[in-house]
């Protein structure tokens, strides 16, 4: 590949776990990729280091004050990166006409508008931000279809399923001979803990995942199994599946990243070391394959693969998410918003681990109805669910 054919990449959330892994893969292939924009919420020092290493055209921070600081630091080093601030700037760097690829790796609902902007602009969208799809699955998939965007899932399970499905898989799984999607789950760090021990879990324990190193929010979601619930919803949208067509399989080794079962009895699986650089490299290079810096899987060292069902009574967030998808409308928006409020409160020591599920369940029973067919009603449901959850928290701690 010549330098003129280099793909221009925007990395939304470049300072996070997925963002830094993305830059690690990009750095291995300077002849293929060039960074257009990098964005961070508040981690300005990390963003400065990334700007010096990757020389993007644009850098985005949340506040104008942080942007001013970064401008001054880059100016002192004679670097010409335009530094801008605010949520609209995130959408601008996602839809910029010079951009080919957008890595959507902002965490939570904050990633919705820029991820959607990339989809609407017809980019190759590498979607890590699962909350965007949970909130606006119908709108997102319509935007992709309308614009001709290429949507490649980065969540390791969905990336695995994508690799196990025929290249054209829209229009319902049955049409393609697929009977079920098998969504693997590590089971999180508390799979084998007693109920009494789980009741005392601290944020530090919840963020220490046995197999994956991830941001704090998704680490807590993995521990409650809400992550698997969000992924179930994500899979429904990505693969035109119903919740009943998706079976969660607890697989503690995290070597099989998910599977597709076919009507003829075949089960296709994708395996690999648990390292997000594999799905990221897949998304960047698809349909080609490139080095991701990931060690080859040593099956003899893995030695055995175990499987069990998920304990939905002990981890109610998973059935709550399935129920929200079955209910449809804005129920997944409410689930996601209440979960974000609950996780933040847990990380701040304002809510106990087991109360995360209680708060989500309570929010789902609140009278927040509506269709999820326009962005305004999605954003309004998100707002109302957050207010409801915050009110519950206030009463709870009073
Ligand atoms: P992280 O917390 O490590 O990073 C989040 C990034 O988003 C940071 O760059 C941060 O600056 C930015 N950000 C946070 N809040 C923001 C806001 N309000 N506005 C703008 N930017 C903001 O998170 P992560 O683990 O990298 O996860 C990112 C996304 O990818 C999440 O949606 C997560 O569910 C998904 N994901 C992550 C993994 C993983 O292994 N980490 C795996 C699968 C999916
Ligand atoms: Mg995942």
Range of 293's domain? 162-327
pLDDT in tens, 275-301: 999 999 999 999 999 999 999 999 999
Within a domain: residue 178? yes
For residue 44, the surrounding DSSP H or E stretch is helix 44-54
What is the tens place of the pLDDT at every residue in 236-264? 999 999 999 999 999 999 999 999 999 99
Q: Is the peptide bond before 286 cis (omega within 30 degrees of 0)?
A: no
Q: Which ligand is nearest to the CA of 212?
A: 1
Q: What percent of the chain has pLDDT over 70?
A: 99
12 is written with which tokens? 């939304």
Q: Which atom of ligand 1 is nearest to the CA of 130?
A: 32
Q: Considering the chain, what is the average pLDDT of its residues? A: 96
- Is the pLDDT at 153 greater than 50? The verdict is yes
Same domain, 16 and 55: yes
Q: Are residues 43 and 176 in the same domain?
A: no
Query: Annotated binding residues, as ranges?
Result: 15-18, 129-131, 155-157, 186, 209, 215, 222, 227-228, 231
**Model pLDDT for residues 61-105, shown as the tens digit of each residue:** 999 999 999 999 999 999 999 999 999 999 999 999 999 999 999
Q: Which atom of ligand 1 is nearest to the CA of 15?
A: 9
Clarify whether residues 231 and 278 are in a common domain. Answer: yes
For the annotated binding site for 1-deoxy-D-xylulose 5-phosphate, the residues are 130, 156-157, 186, 209, 222, 227-228, 231
Judge whether 393 lies within some domain: no
Number of domains within the chain: 2
Where a domain ends, among 279, 294, 327?
327
Report pLDDT digits (tens) over 297-353.
Answer: 999 999 999 999 999 999 999 999 999 999 999 999 999 999 999 999 999 999 999
| Model confidence pLDDT, tens digit, residues 344-381 | 999 999 999 999 999 999 999 999 988 898 999 999 99
DSSP category for residue 263: T
Please, are residues 224 and 357 in contact by the beta-carbon 8 Å criterion?
A: yes
Name residues whose C-beta falls within 8 Å of residue 183's C-beta, 6 or more positions apart in sequence. Answer: 157, 161, 228, 231, 232, 235, 246, 247, 248, 249, 258
Residue 288 in domain: yes
SS3 220: helix
Last residue of some domain: 136, 153, 170?
A: 153
180 lies in the same domain as 141:
no
41 pocket-lining for ligand 1 (C-beta < 6 Å): yes
Residue 335 in domain: no
Give domain status of residue 130, yes or no. yes
For 127, the enclosing helix (H) or strand (E) is strand 124-127
Both 178 and 141 in one domain: the answer is no
The alpha carbon of 157 and the centre of ligand 2 are apart by a number of angstroms equal to 5
What is the DSSP-derived secondary structure letter of residue 308? B
Task: Looking at the structure, tell me whether residues 144 and 59 fall in a common domain.
Answer: yes
Is 297 found in the same domain as 178?
Answer: yes
Residue 100: inside a domain, yes or no?
A: yes
Edge-to-edge order in the sheet of strand 246-250: 246-250, 178-185, 256-262, 267-271
Query: Which residues have a beta carbon within 5 Å of ligand 2, which is an ion?
Result: 155-157
CB 47 near ligand 1, within 6 Å: no
Same domain, 218 and 281: yes
Which residues are paired to 250 by β-bridges? 185, 308
Task: Give me the pLDDT at residue 4, please.
Answer: 57
Are 98 and 171 members of one domain? no
User: 31-41, pLDDT tens digit by residue?
Assistant: 999 999 999 99
CA separation for the pair 354, 320 (Å, rounded): 14
Residues 133 and 173 in one domain: no
- Please tell me whether residues 202 and 278 are part of one structural domain: yes
* CB 276 near ligand 1, within 6 Å: yes
């Amino acid at each position: 590949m010549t330098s003129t054919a280099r793909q221009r990449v925007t990395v939304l959330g470049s300072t996070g776990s997925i963002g830094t892994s993305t830059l690690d893969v990009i750095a291995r292939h300077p002849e293929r990729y060039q960074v257009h924009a990098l964005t961070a919420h508040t981690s300005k020092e990390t963003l400065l280091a990334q700007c010096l290493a990757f020389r993007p055209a644009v850098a985005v921070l949340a506040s104008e004050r942080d942007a001013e600081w970064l401008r001054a630091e880059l100016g002192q080093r004679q670097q010409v990166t335009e530094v801008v601030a605010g949520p609209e700037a995130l959408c601008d760097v996602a839809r910029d006409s010079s951009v080919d690829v957008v890595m959507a790796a902002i965490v939570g609902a904050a990633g919705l508008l820029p991820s959607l902007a990339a989809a609407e602009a017809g980019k190759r969208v590498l979607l890590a931000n699962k909350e965007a799809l949970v909130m606006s699955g119908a709108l997102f998939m319509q935007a992709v279809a309308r614009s001709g965007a290429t949507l490649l899932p980065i969540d390791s399970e969905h990336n695995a399923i994508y690799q196990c499905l025929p290249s054209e898989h829209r229009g319902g799984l049955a049409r393609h001979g697929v009977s079920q999607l098998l969504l693997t789950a590590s089971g999180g760090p508390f799979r084998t803990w007693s109920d009494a021990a789980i009741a005392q879990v601290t944020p530090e324990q919840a963020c220490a995942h046995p197999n994956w190193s991830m941001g704090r929010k998704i680490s807590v979601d993995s521990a409650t199994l809400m992550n698997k619930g969000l992924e179930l919803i994500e899979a429904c949208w990505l693969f035109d599946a119903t919740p009943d067509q998706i079976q969660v399989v607890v697989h503690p080794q995290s070597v099989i990243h998910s599977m597709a079962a076919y009507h003829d009895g075949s089960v296709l699986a994708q395996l690999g070391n648990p390292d997000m650089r594999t799905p990221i490299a897949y998304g960047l290079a698809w349909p080609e394959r490139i080095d991701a810096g990931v060690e080859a899987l040593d099956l003899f060292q893995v030695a055995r693969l175990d499987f069990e069902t998920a304990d939905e009574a002990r981890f109610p967030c998973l059935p709550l998410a399935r129920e929200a998808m079955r209910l449809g409308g804005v129920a997944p928006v409410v689930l996601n918003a209440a979960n974000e409020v609950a996780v933040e409160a847990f990380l701040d020591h304002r809510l106990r681990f087991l109360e995360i599920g209680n708060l989500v369940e309570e929010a789902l029973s609140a009278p927040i109805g509506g269709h999820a067919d326009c962005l305004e009603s999605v954003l309004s449901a998100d707002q109302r669910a957050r207010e409801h959850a915050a009110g519950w928290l206030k009463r709870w701690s009073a």
